[in-house]
């Protein structure tokens, strides 16, 4: 090292500000901060070249340690579920919708009196929540068939019920049994465009709410994580109070034979 205490990197003299070493399973994890726009390298140096072969468990431990050091050094945080109140700037209450907002819960999507759907202009998803534990869902989805590209099917789903906000910030959405409906339209199917009963409990592994900008307007954004941790599309608040059908069972659930025999 030159007498002035600087090191030469890529032909440029730079001043080290801090060096830290951590011992992990016979290795030294060393990282050095330099006054430069380039990020420092995190390196591994063997203490003893004659050490026995490294086990998979040891490599996994080292990899985790390196990744943790990287996150700590550069201020990056891993995504976790059950985010909690710090990232929820408002309550879940309201009607939330994706994209252009053409799919919305309420009477303009499903008519329980006529047992019929109203097709929105474009596909999308919508959820509504109340502060006292009720929810509603409206989905308009397209499904493609890779083997038959011309055979595109459309699926409309509506259901509602009660939800539980658990202590770990997960959501349990329980539908009213016998109330949910779906309609499937498949241009290549013999029987299509029929309406049938639909009942699907949903578990969200977490959610977060932020204030965002949607179509140049400050809007609350809802991000939910499905049962497998994958994120659902981003939802934006369209109404508060929410636009919903009555928060009670609307259909009778018939069990057994029609004749009662």
Task: Tell me the per-residue pLDDT of 81-91, one tens digit each, with 9 for 90 and over.
Answer: 444 455 577 88
Q: Could you report the per-residue pLDDT of 120-138, keeping only the tens digit for each?
A: 999 999 999 999 999 999 9
pLDDT at res. 253: 57
pLDDT at res. 243: 97
Specify which residues 128 forms β-bridges with.
95, 136
Helix (H, G, I), strand (E, B) or coil at 169: coil
Q: Provide the phi-psi class of 60: left if phi over 0, else alpha when psi is between -120 and 50, else beta.
A: alpha
The Cα 166–Cα 222 span in angstroms is 17
Across 227-252, b (16+ Cβ under 10 Å) vs e yields eeeeebeebbbbbeebbbbebeebee
Q: Is the pLDDT of residue 246 over 60?
A: yes
Rg (CA), the chain: 27
The Cα 91–Cα 166 span in angstroms is 14
pLDDT band at residue 54 using 50, 70 and 90 as cut-offs:
low
pLDDT at res. 101: 96
Residue 186 burial (CB count, 10 A): 16
Q: Could you report the per-residue pLDDT of 141-172, keeping only the tens digit for each?
A: 998 878 888 888 899 999 999 999 998 889 99
Q: Is the pLDDT of residue 236 over 90?
A: yes
Contact 244, 130 (CB under 8 A): yes
Q: Is the pLDDT of residue 73 over 50?
A: no
pLDDT at res. 4: 55
As a 3-state breakdown, the chain gives helix, strand, coil percent values, each rounded to 5, of: 10, 40, 50
**Mean pLDDT value across the chain:** 76
């Amino acid at each position: 090292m030159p007498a002035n205490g600087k090191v030469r990197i890529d032909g440029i003299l730079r001043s080290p500000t801090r060096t830290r070493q951590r011992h992990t399973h016979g290795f030294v994890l060393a990282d050095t901060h330099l006054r430069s726009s380039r990020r420092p390298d995190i390196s591994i140096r063997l203490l003893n070249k004659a050490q026995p072969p490294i086990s998979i468990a040891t490599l996994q431990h080292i990899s985790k340690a390196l990744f943790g050091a990287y996150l700590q050094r550069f201020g990056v945080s891993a995504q976790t579920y059950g985010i909690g109140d710090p990232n929820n700037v408002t309550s879940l209450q309201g009607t939330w919708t994706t994209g252009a907002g053409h799919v919305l819960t309420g009477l303009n999507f499903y008519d329980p009196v006529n047992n019929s759907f109203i097709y929105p202009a474009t596909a999308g998803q919508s959820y509504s929540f109340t502060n006292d534990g009720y929810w509603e869902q409206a989905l308009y989805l397209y499904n493609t068939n890779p083997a038959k590209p011309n055979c595109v099917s459309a699926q409309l789903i509506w259901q509602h019920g009660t939800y539980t906000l658990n202590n770990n910030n997960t959501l349990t959405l329980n539908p009213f049994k016998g109330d949910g409906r779906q309609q499937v339209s498949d241009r290549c199917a013999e029987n299509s465009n029929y309406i049938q009963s639909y009942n699907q409990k949903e578990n969200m592994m977490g959610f977060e709410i932020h204030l965002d900008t949607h179509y140049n307007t400050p809007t609350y954004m809802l991000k939910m994580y499905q049962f497998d941790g994958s994120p659902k599309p981003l939802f934006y608040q369209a109404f508060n109070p929410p636009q919903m059908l009555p928060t009670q069972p609307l259909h009778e659930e018939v069990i057994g034979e029609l004749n009662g025999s």
